[in-house]
């Protein structure tokens, strides 16, 4: 559990990564919805709308989802 003051300091310094989803893209920039609001950042790599990304230092990097989980029916 962290304190809100520590989180704010990390965000202001730029070291804290924020997780979110890409809600729009244009000209290499993405708008990312995070729990702190909407953030505009540069896209780093190949991302699509709806992808989960991590925003750090003004760049959005795609987070790999685990989609290769086997499903068994009984």
As for how many domains the chain has, the answer is 1
Q: What angle is formed at CA 42 by the lines to CA 44 and CA 26, rounded to 5 degrees?
A: 105
The Cα–Cα gap between 57 and 5 comes to: 19
37: domain CATH number is 2.40.50.140
* Domain assignment present for 12: no
Which helix or strand (DSSP H or E) is residue 23 part of?
A: strand 18-26
pTM more than 0.85 = no
Q: Say if residues 47 and 21 touch (Cβ distance below 8 Å).
A: no
User: For 29-68, how does the pLDDT look when each residue is reduced to its tens digit (9 = 90+)?
Assistant: 999 999 888 989 998 878 888 889 988 878 888 887 655 5
Name the burial class of residue 58, with classes exposed (0-12), middle (13-18) and buried (19+) by CB atoms within 10 angstroms of its CB: exposed
């Amino acid at each position: 559990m962290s304190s809100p003051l520590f989180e704010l300091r990390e965000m202001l310094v730029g070291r804290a990564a924020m997780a979110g989803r890409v809600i729009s893209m244009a000209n290499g920039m993405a708008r990312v919805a995070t729990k702190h609001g909407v953030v505009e950042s540069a896209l780093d790599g190949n991302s699509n709308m709806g992808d989960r990304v991590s925003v750090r230092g003004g760049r959005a990097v795609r987070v790999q989802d685990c989609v290769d989980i086997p499903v068994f029916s009984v």
